[in-house]
Amino acid sequence: MSTAASTAETVEPLEDREELESVVIRFAGDSGDGVQVTGGQLTQVTALAGNDLATFPDFPAEIRAPAGTTYGVSAFQINFGARRIRTAGDRPDVLVAFNPAALKVNIEDMPGGSLVIVDTGTFSDRNLRKAGYGANPLEDRSLDNYRVVEIDISKRTLDSVEPFGLTQKQALRCKNFWALGLIYWLYGRGRQTTIDWLNAKFGRIPAVAGANVAAMNAGHAYGETAELGLEVKGYVIPPADMPRGLYRTVTGADATAYGLVAGTRSAGLRLMFGSYPITPASALLHVLAGMKEFDVVTFQAEDEISAVCSAIGASYAGALGVTSSSGPGIALKTEAIGLAVSVELPLVIVNSQRSGPSTGMPTKTEQSDLYQAVYGRNADAPVPVIAASSPADAFDAAVEAVRIATKYMTPVFLLTDSYIVNAAEPWLIPDVDALPLREVEFRTDADGFHPFLRDEDTLARAWALPGTPGLEHRVGGLEKDYDTGNISYDPENHHRMTMVRKAKIDGIADDIPPQAVTLGSLDDTVAVVGWGSTHGPINRAVDDLQSEGLDVSHIHIRHLWPLPRNLGGLLRSYDHVLVPEMNTGQLRTVLRSEYLTPAVGLNNVSGLPFKIAEIKDAVRKLLEG
């Protein structure tokens, strides 16, 4: 259902509300408290209200960690506003803590004076002990710096859902919607969208749907009857000024899937997606498995190697093979990627990067697989590398990955990360029919054919499919003769083939847009250079610093291999190059290696996105010398 006309309905009357430019809200509770669901609803309703927004779901790797423990705390943060929103926010203005552990884990992120809403119903001695509190923080004045709103949300939820005859356990599960109702009142959001969603979701168990609606209404009424005290009043956040058009919210996993489908269709190919479940990459498999009507075939393989091999097999037979994983799984695929380089077949490898090495922190974000993508194979095996910079941007990045893979007959790395995959943001929905048609032309002419016959411009080899009469041929991982495609151990031929494989990938630099200055100008003193999901914090930091009168630019790189031809010159026009990365300096090393540029790093490997303030501080420090 399109709710294009519903914007007005979702904003409640102004009353005596204070206008805010933006707000950051964090929900935190046990993994089973429904924190992510609550966040998802607030995201949807906020988007419909016309705000710009960014979200940051942050959850433990365990599905249902023991209740009440600090390591089982799941959190969801949303930043929304009347201005363009570029990150999920450095520090929350509001924290909703569903238990002592959630308070304990999150209170350090809260600035003084911020609003902290706690469910006192969970502050039992047992839960306090589990959270590691010696004394009850609600009683020892340790929270005096905050505006703490103590509500027994558990009891109020139980009271409000009483008529529905649920068990105590079921009834308590509604408390996330009680809290959501309160937040809806605080920020003047309508409830109808969520009521509709609950009724649809729990259509077969009307008591559960009704109870959740009742809990939400009770939370809303609690705010409305001014029981909050502490001069907590309602706020209003007007719609943001955004480019005109039709919007929806999208996660990075959604956008990647849509981009792969759109790109493959514009190439006139079937998409064959081979994947093995791994956090956080599995979401892409789930989305694509639901898109069969677009001729998408998904294959849940027995392991990562089978996943990539099935994709290569599919490309060999004329589909576009795509595989997806996270760092450890990509490592397992490496040998097969080398095969795709050697036999020159199209393949898209999506890496949803996560904290490592090894299993690391599976649900936390990082961008530490750049070396793996650019350099991480045996022998000379160049592969183009593209990075998405935000959830919505993953669509364009995926379309571009498909374009390069099919045009140049090569595997392509598409890098996202845990943050991009899970976070949501508004997306100006593109017209996929307007994407340039780049239908692949398979070789059918037997005259003069051999499988490694190359296009003079792109150096891509001919794509001849099994099933084509007269073009029967053999390909494999053994070195091929340049002029016939047959096996060759000739020394000069191997050198020639190695160099032509390299030239093919290097040449892609002529077929990508020159690097632009994302924000700022060449006259500035400092260039803050980023890639991937650091786009948001860098962009906001640079924007803020420019407002302060500092000469700072933001340069964000999509094409990480080959790099844009003009990038070296661009970097040389700045006195300082600062490279913030969620790794120990991988892009910095690449830039130094390629351009001998004296780039310095700002490196944060915490599993969390950069804070805007961190980047601003680093730039100021650089300018102070």
Partner 1 sequence: MNVEARIEPLKAKDFASDQEVRWCPGCGDYAIIKAMQKTLADIGAKRESTVFVSGIGCAARFPYYMSTYGFHTIHGRAAAISTGIKLANPDLDVWVASGDGDALSIGGNHLLHVLRRNVDLQFLLFNNEIYGLTKGQYSPTSRVGTRSPSTPLGSVESPVSACELALGAGARFVARSVDTQQKHLPGVFRRAREHRGASFVEILQNCIVYNDDVFAEFTAKDVAPDRQVHVAHGEPLVFGADRDKGLKVDPDTMSLEVVAIGEDGVTESDVMTHDETNPTLAGMLARMQPPEYPVALGVLYCNPARTYDHDVLTQVREARDRAPDANLNEYLRRGHTWTI
Nearest alpha-carbon partner for 531 in 372, 434, 388, 363: 388
Residue number with CB closer to partner 1 (32 or 430): 430
- The span from the CA of 462 to the CA of 456, in Å, is 11
CB of 444 to partner 1, least distance (A): 11
Residue number with CB closer to partner 1 (213 or 228): 213
DSSP sequence for 13-43:
--TTPEE-SEEEEEEEEEGGG-HHHHHHHHH
Backbone dihedral angles phi then psi of residue 348, each to the nearest 5 degrees: -110, 130
CB of 621 to partner 1, least distance (A): 38
CB of 126 to partner 1, least distance (A): 41
- The span from the CA of 563 to the CA of 590, in Å, is 10
| Region for 242 from its dihedrals, namely left if φ exceeds 0, alpha if ψ lies in -120 to 50, beta otherwise | beta
User: Which two three-digit tokens encode residue 466?
Assistant: 């099994």
Nearest alpha-carbon partner for 268 in 409, 438, 458, 436: 438
Residue number with CB closer to partner 1 (29 or 50): 50
- The span from the CA of 109 to the CA of 515, in Å, is 36
Residue number with CB closer to partner 1 (201 or 474): 474
∠ CA 51-52-58, rounded to 5°: 115
Please enumerate in sequence order all residues whose Cβ is within 8 A of that of 231, keeping only pairs 6 or more positions apart, or say none: none
| Residue 107 neighbours by CB distance under 10 Å | 19
Residue number with CB closer to partner 1 (141 or 489): 489
- The span from the CA of 442 to the CA of 519, in Å, is 42
429, 244 Cβ separation under 8 angstroms: no
∠ CA 68-92-254, rounded to 5°: 85
Residue number with CB closer to partner 1 (107 or 345): 345
CB of 242 to partner 1, least distance (A): 5
Residue number with CB closer to partner 1 (247 or 610): 247
CB of 189 to partner 1, least distance (A): 14
CB of 253 to partner 1, least distance (A): 14
CB of 207 to partner 1, least distance (A): 26
- Beta bridge partners, 23, equal 80
Residue number with CB closer to partner 1 (267 or 612): 267
Nearest alpha-carbon partner for 531 in 364, 413, 358: 413
Nearest alpha-carbon partner for 155 in 168, 165, 164, 167: 168
Three-class SS string for 269-295? Answer: CCEEEEECCCCCCHHHHHHHHCCHHHC
Q: Determine the angle formed by the axes of helices 175-186 and 35-48, rounding to 10 degrees.
A: 30
| CA distances from residue 167 to 171, 172, 289, 573 in whole angstroms, order as listed | 6, 9, 36, 67
Residue number with CB closer to partner 1 (192 or 584): 192
Residue number with CB closer to partner 1 (289 or 623): 289
CB of 371 to partner 1, least distance (A): 23
**Residue 569 CA, distance from chain mean position:** 30
Residue number with CB closer to partner 1 (121 or 188): 188
Residue number with CB closer to partner 1 (291 or 440): 291
CB of 339 to partner 1, least distance (A): 5
Sheet holding 526-531, edge to edge: 552-557, 526-531, 576-581, 600-603
CB of 529 to partner 1, least distance (A): 31
Residue number with CB closer to partner 1 (41 or 389): 41
- Beta bridge partners, 554, equal 519, 528
CB of 434 to partner 1, least distance (A): 9
CB of 448 to partner 1, least distance (A): 16
Residue number with CB closer to partner 1 (97 or 409): 409
Sheet holding 147-151, edge to edge: 52-58, 73-81, 22-30, 94-97, 115-119, 147-151
- The span from the CA of 484 to the CA of 475, in Å, is 11
CB of 548 to partner 1, least distance (A): 29
Task: Name the residue type at position 579.
Answer: V
Structural Rg of the chain based on CA atoms: 27
